[in-house]
Structure 1
Amino acid sequence: MREVYYRELSKLEKYGVDIAFINTVPGISYWTGAIVFIKRVRPKLVVPMHLRGETVVIDYF
């Protein structure tokens, strides 16, 4: 699964992203995916989604 994710990120890196809506359900696997996405794709704006009341997550993004 990780290989597929990284392959798709490589495609996005080529084109760039202005706005990224990131799934940030609390849990290491989701946050790790979001952080990797941000570091590799470098979107201009990140919008965290699915916070489930955990608004402290916003501070990380």
Structure 2
Amino acid sequence: MRVQFSVSGQNIRSQRSIERIGAIKEGVFRKHRIKADGSMHDNIFYSILDNEWADVKENLLFLLSKKYS
């Protein structure tokens, strides 16, 4: 089982957030997205596998406890 995330290569803030929770960067699809203005942008793919979930969950709970304590 896996959960997959896809984010624009230009969206550094989202990339950092996904990495902070513990997702693994799997790759970059270069020039994968065409925007309305015709420009091409990369897509970054991340995932969390079922065997990684316990550690990711622990990290998420820790991050949430820091924010709301």
Higher strand share: 2
Please identify the structure whose Cα radius of gyration is greater.
Answer: 2
**TM-score, normalised with respect to structure 1:** 0.32
Higher helix share: 1
**TM-score, normalised with respect to structure 2:** 0.29
